Chains A and B, each alone.
Chain A
C-alpha cells in the first residue's frame, strides 16, 4: 500500500469547539494535494496535528507506516515531514545561506552540531537549492532583510534541503505579486513526484493552476474531494466556499 499519510478519524476540540470533527484523509506518495476551505475550516489545525504541534483529542495519524500521533515536533520532522508556515518564518538574524544550513537534512544532536563542518555534498545541496529558489545572489544577506516573496521562497528552500517525504505548505502565495505567484507554482509543481506536497491556499486561481486533487474542508470535516473541476461543480462546495 502506498499511502504515505493517513489521518484517521481525528477530532480536535478546543474547549468544546471542534476544530476538527472526525476527519479522515489519505495521501498517496508523490501526490500534490490542495487543501481549501473557508476560514475556520480546520486547515491549520490539521497541519498542527500532523506535525505534532497539537495533540488530537481522539483519532490517529500514521505517517510512512508509523503512528506519529503522540510524537514531539522534532521527531516528526526527523521522520520526513516538513512544514512551511502561513506567515513566512525564517531566521531573521541569519544569512540566507545559514538559514538553509540550519535546515539541512542530517543529525540534529547538540554534540554533532558543535563540531559540524559543511561537507561538499551539503554545500552542493544548498547551492542547488539557492539556484532553484532564485536567491543565489542574496546568499550572504540577512534573511530579515528579504522581501516578503523572497522570504516565502527561502522558507520553501529550507523545506527542500530537509529532504522531507511530505511537505505541508500553508498559503505559499499570500501577498505575492503575479510574477512571484507563477514562479512559486513552478517550484511547487516541480516538487510533486519526488515529494508528497500538501498546499493550503485561499487563492483559487493558484489552486486551479497547480491542483490535481483538491480536498475541501468545512467546519472540521471533509466536504468534498476530487479533481478541481468536479469539486468546483459540487453545489455544496459552491454554497460554503466558492460561491461566497
Chain B
C-alpha cells in the first residue's frame, strides 16, 4: 500500500464511522420524534408511540456499547460489569423519579410506596438530595464513576488483567445484584423502582415527553461517540491500543499503564451511568435484574458482533442484536438464548472484526492482523527467527501470558 493510500484509509476509517453515527443520531433525535409528533397518524410515515420508546431504549444500549468498545476494543479490558454501571445510573435517575411522584403514590405518602409497604417512617439518608433533578443527574455519573475508579485502582495496580479481570468484574456485578435484591438495602428490593409519574414536571405518559426523551437519547449517543472518538484519536488513545497489544512494552516506553487503564475504565463507567439515566425514564422501571451477569455478557456480545475497536460498530451491534432480541423473544421465545450463543461463537470464530470487518471497515489493527491469523496457531517471531528475505512471521495480538513471557520472565535465558 502506498503511503498516500494508507493515509487516505487512515483518514477515511474514523470519518466513515462518524458518518454512520451521525446518520443514526439524526434518525433518532430528529426523524423519529418528528414522524411521531408532527406527522399525522393516518400517514404511512407516522411512527407509533411504542416504537419511539423502543428506539430510545435501543439508543441507550448503543451508548453503553460505545463505552464498552472504548475499554474492550481499544484498551483490551473485557468488562463483565458494564450493566452494573448502567443500572447504577438508572437507579440514580429512578430515585429522582420516585421522589417526584410526591403524594400521588398508592399510599398517598411522602415516602416512596415500597418504603411505606416496609413500614419505614422516614427517608434513609442516602435518599437525601434526590428530590432535585440536578443532584440525581450528577449522581448518575458520579456513583458509577467513583465505584469504577476505586475498583479499577486496586485491580489494575495489582496487575489483574485478561480473563481474571473479567471474572472479578462479574463477581462485582453479581454481588451488587444480591445487595439490591434485599429490601433492607432501600432501593425497592426485587421490584426495584417503578410507577414513575413525571420528570421535571412533564408527565411521562405523554407521547410528547417520550419523543423528547428519545431525541435526548440520540443526542446522548452523539455526545458519547464524540467523546470516545476524541479519546481514541489522541495520542493517549494510541497508548491504550498499544497497551492492548503489548502491555509490558508500554511500561518500558515510560507510561504508567495503571493510569491509562483507570482513565478509560472510569470514563466508560460514567458513560454507562449516563446511558442508564436516559434509559430509566423511557422504560419506566429499574430493578436488580438489570445487574445480572448475563446482561453484561450481552453487552460484550453486542460489541463483538458489531466489531471491536470501531466505536460505530459497537453501536450498530447493540441496535441489531437488541432488535433481533425484541423480535425473537416475541416470535420464538425459547430460541433466543440459542441464537445469541450461536451468534457469539460464529462471530468470534469466523469474523473477529464483526460486522464492520465484513463491510471492510474494521480497525487497522484487525485488518493488519487478520491477514496472518491462523486460528489456534500462534507463531512466535523469535522461534521462526527468519532472515528478512523470508516472509514475515505471523503476528497475533499478544495476550497477557504471551507478552509477559516475551518480556523475559525466565532467568537469564
Contact = CB atoms under 8 A, between A and B. Distances in A.
Interface of A: 12, 14, 17, 19, 37, 39-48, 51, 53, 72-74, 77-78, 82-83, 85-95, 98, 101-103, 108-110, 113-116, 139-142, 144-151, 158, 162, 170, 174-177, 180, 217, 220
B393 interface: yes
B255 A87 contact: no
B42 interface: no
Contact of B382 (A73, A93, A175): A175
Contact of B369 (A14, A93, A98, A174): A93
Contact of A87 (B1, B368, B380, B390): B380
Given A83-B252, A86-B382, A144 B395 contact: yes
Contacts of B242: 91, 93-94, 102
23 contacts: A44-B412, A45-B412, A77-B252, A78-B254, A82-B252, A85-B406, A89-B407, A101-B235, A102-B239, A102-B253, A109-B259, A115-B234, A116-B235, A140-B3, A141-B1, A142-B368, A147-B390, A148-B381, A148-B385, A174-B382, A175-B382, A175-B385, A177-B389
Interface residues of B, number: 57
A142 B387 contact: no
Contacts of A87: 380-382, 406
Contacts of B395: 92, 144-145
Interface in B236-292: 236, 238-239, 241-242, 245-246, 248-257, 259-260, 263
A179 B255 CA distance: 34
Given A37-B412, A92-B246, 4 more contacts: A53-B408, A74-B257, A113-B239, A144-B368
A180 B388 CA distance: 9
B387 A175 contact: yes
Nearest to A116: B235
A217 B411 CA distance: 12
Contact of B254 (A17, A53, A108, A142): A108
A93 B410 contact: no
A163 B231 CA distance: 27
B251 A93 contact: no
A175 B380 CA distance: 12
A145 B385 contact: no
A113 B411 contact: no
Nearest to B2: A140
Contact of A19 (B239, B263, B407, B412): B412
B182 interface: no
Interface of B: 1, 3, 6-7, 10, 230-231, 234-236, 238-239, 241-242, 245-246, 248-257, 259-260, 263, 363-365, 368-369, 372, 380-382, 384-390, 392-393, 395, 397-398, 406-408, 410-413
A147 B259 CA distance: 33
B411 A17 contact: yes
Cβ-closest 5 pairs across A and B = A93-B365, A19-B411, A175-B385, A147-B388, A77-B254
A98 B406 contact: no
A144 B249 CA distance: 14
Contacts of B365: 92-93, 142
